[in-house]
Each structure stands twice: as structure tokens, then as C-alpha cells.
Amino acid sequence: MSKLNSEPIKIQIRDVNYNPIQNATIKVIERKTNKILYNEESLNGEVILDDIENLKSCHAFRVEIQHPHYKPAPKTNSSCVREAHRGKYHTLEYHYQDKLLVSNVYAEIREQIQYTCEDNDANTIYLPKRIYDIDNHTFIEQEALQAINNLQIHLKAYYNQDNIPNKEKQSNEQKRIYQEQKKETRWGIIIGSLDESQPVKDNAAFQILKNNDDYELKGEEIVLNLKQEWLNQTIRIYAFIENPNHKVGNTLYIYAPIEYKEEGLIDVSGYFLSIAGVMGKNLVIKGVRFASELQGNRYVRRENRESQGIARESLSNKEAREWYVNTQLPKVKELGSRILTLEERAKFHFNFRNQARKDARDAMKDRKKAEELDKTDPIQTWEEWIEYVRKEKGLTNMEDIYNYTIEASSRSRPSVNKSLGVVPK
């Protein structure tokens, strides 16, 4: 073995503006045998191969990368000769991708007039509002169907090249190419049921969104008028340039007016009225409360990752944990206290925490760690959780199980927080 072949191989990847390319999967391939020497993600754009025994016959190699912003082959598209950089880094530069990919979709509900539906947010619509008239025990519609005509869904697509380093250094020609591609962004929709736990399935039928003249809607931003046939439906709207992918989109949950009665309560579009006799007169208590876990689950959807504009695979492990511990978990206690029965409150806590855990894992850039968590600490169903508490905690009384569920769903593991440097607020 030569002296050279006893030294590690050092590799650094960067863009054409000399910035290190972060969070790229780097594949190192031996030129002669096509043997893969390395194929892992690098956080800082550097790799050191020090398995000398495995490298002893390697005299030249090529480096490919996987990253949404950059082309896989380096600018020179040639192999690296090991002897040329004795003890130094092999530095390779990579051009930006020519083709755009849609990376995220932002949705916003806008009202053309500002007096309807103050509970609406980016992902949930409650239509229309109704008032309970205590004197004659009837509901009064507030311009019910007309409210729909005043609502629009504004959608904007974001792309893989929107957040590249030193974007301002791109050539005018490259900017023009990207802008032309954005104009060709197409839009699709999948309609599902509010009752399904997974409203959008991989094999779901989709429709291409078109205007009134039957032309496809295209562009970086579009506006949709809310349709009556979407009431009490889940709609998944997604954007693409070439290949449709419903995972890159935004889900909206659209609720029509409901009359929900349970234990003397009447639910009115997210509000409830509790009617009781006090000195011969009806007492009305009004506030944002939930008559059941089903009603509370609407708020679970309203507070998820997508509604907060957090893209998949966009956060570091610490950032994802910080969001889970200090943004999502505090909401469990605050929102869960609004549910009236102990059982329904426990189910809400359980569902909210499960959604927060799933969202945090989906947001992690470290896919290897996220997949590991799915295996070592899988998200349980309600039935699995009840069985676990009975077996592991020795609880048999359902009231005790519900109380334990509420308490457990509101806390996070100190050991995990400490390892990532996250301090619960």
C-alpha cells in the first residue's frame, strides 16, 4: 500500500458562489469498480472517509449529491484523483437545478366583507354563523348562504429555489427561466370526507382545477371562490409543475352549520349555549367551547403543522422538538380544558398530542432519526393506548385512565429535551 492510500479522503461540496452546500446526501463512488464508498447526508457539506482498509485500492472517485437546490453532478463532471489532494480537501462545485419543484403551498381564507365568520383561519372554515333566540327557541340565520359568496381561498406555491443562499447572485437569465416555470404551475384538488381519519389517500382521485371557461388554472398564485358543494368536506389543494404530488399541498376542512345536542347543550358553529333556570329567567353562557371531542378535533386540525406554514423536512431536530414542546403541547392543556366530559377531554388530549408528534416528525430534516422514532416510539391508536395504560400503569378504572391520559399528554420527556438543549417554557 502506498503512503497516499493510507490517508483519509476529504471532500467538500459547495455552490458556484463558494457557499458550502448544507443538508445534502453525498455519494462517493470509486471510479474503477463503481463501488459506493459513502452515501449519507452531510449537515455542513464536508465528508471525511477514514476507513483506510476499505479505501486502499481507491485511486480515483466521483462525487454525486442529492439536494433539491442543486444538480447531482459537479460543475466539472469529472472524477477526483486521490493523489492530487494529498491531505487536503477535494473541493467540488455544483450548479443550481434548472427545473423548479413545488415545495410547499400556502392557503389563506379571505373575506371580501369583514363581518362574517371571525373563527375562520388559514385551514378551517365555519359557515355560516347562527344565533340562538332564547325567547322563541329558534335559530336565526345570519345571511347564511350569502356568506359563502364573500369568501375566497388565496393560494400561493413555494419552490425548491426560493430559499437558496445568495439568490440575488443568480444571473438574469436564470431568474427568467425560473419565472417562466412558475407561470406553468398547475393546481389540483382532492375532495374527501370530514369523518375520515386520513382524508387524503395515496390512490385518491384528483381533479385539475379549471376556470369557468374550462381552462386549467396556472400560475404561482391563484384565487378560488368557495363552492357550496365543498361544505362539510375536506379539500386538499396541491400545486405541481410536471408530476402531480398531493403531498405538496394544503388541506382545508370546511364545515357547514350544524346543530349538535348533547347533555342539554346546543352547539352553534363552535360556540355553545348553556341554558339553565336562574330566578325564573334563562341564563346564557357564551364562549369558545366544545360540546365533544369531535368538535375539539376541529381545533386539532386548525393548529397543525400545515396551518402554521411549516413545510415538511424543514426543521432541525432541535427546532422540531422546540416547536413540539413549547408551541404545541401548551395548547393541549388550554384547548382541552374547554371540553365538557372527562372521556371526551382525554380523547382530545390524546389526539392533539398524536398530531403534534406526527407533525414534528414530518417537519424534521433528519429523516433517518424520524424513521427511527416511528419504529422505537410509534404513534398509538386510542385502543392501543388504553391497553398500554392498563398493562404498564396498572390502572383499571376508566376515570383514572382518562385522568392519566390528560396528564401524560400535556408533558414531554425531560431526557429528550436535555439531549437536544430544549427548555420547556
List the chain pLDDT tens, one digit each, 425 residues. Answer: 455 567 889 999 998 878 888 889 999 999 989 999 999 999 899 999 988 888 888 889 999 999 888 889 998 888 888 887 777 899 999 988 878 888 888 877 666 544 444 444 444 444 444 444 444 444 444 444 555 666 788 888 988 777 776 667 777 888 888 899 999 999 999 888 766 545 455 556 788 898 888 889 999 999 988 787 887 778 888 899 888 887 788 887 776 544 333 333 333 333 322 222 222 222 222 233 333 444 445 555 556 676 666 777 888 888 888 888 888 777 776 666 655 567 777 887 888 888 888 888 988 889 899 889 888 989 888 889 999 999 999 998 888 998 999 888 888 888 888 888 988 87
Q: How far apart are CA 382 and CA 399, in angstroms?
A: 15
Nearest Cα to 104, choosing from 252, 306, 324? Answer: 306
Last residue of a domain, one of 50, 71, 94: 94
Q: How far apart are CA 199 and CA 211, in angstroms?
A: 25
Domain hosting 226: range is: 96-257
For residues 235 and 155, is the Cβ–Cβ distance under 8 A?
no
Last residue of a domain, one of 289, 305, 334: 289
pTM, entire model: 0.47
For residues 139 and 283, is the Cβ–Cβ distance under 8 A?
no
Do 63 and 135 lie in one domain? The reply is no
Do 224 and 311 lie in one domain? The reply is no
Do 15 and 123 lie in one domain? The reply is no
Do 251 and 111 lie in one domain? The reply is yes
Do 153 and 59 lie in one domain? The reply is no
Do 225 and 307 lie in one domain? The reply is no
Do 103 and 155 lie in one domain? The reply is yes
Do 45 and 152 lie in one domain? The reply is no
**Max alpha carbon distance in the chain (Å)?**
100
Q: Is 81 strand, coil or helix?
A: strand
Beta strands across the sheet bearing 221-225: 102-111, 151-159, 221-225
Question: Between vectors from CA 360 to CA 109 and to CA 235, what angle results, nearest 5°?
Answer: 30
Q: How far apart are CA 129 and CA 133, in angstroms?
A: 13
Do 202 and 215 lie in one domain? The reply is yes
Do 89 and 135 lie in one domain? The reply is no
Do 82 and 127 lie in one domain? The reply is no
Do 270 and 238 lie in one domain? The reply is no
Helix axes 398-409, 329-336, angle to 10 degrees: 140
Q: How many domains does the chain have?
A: 4
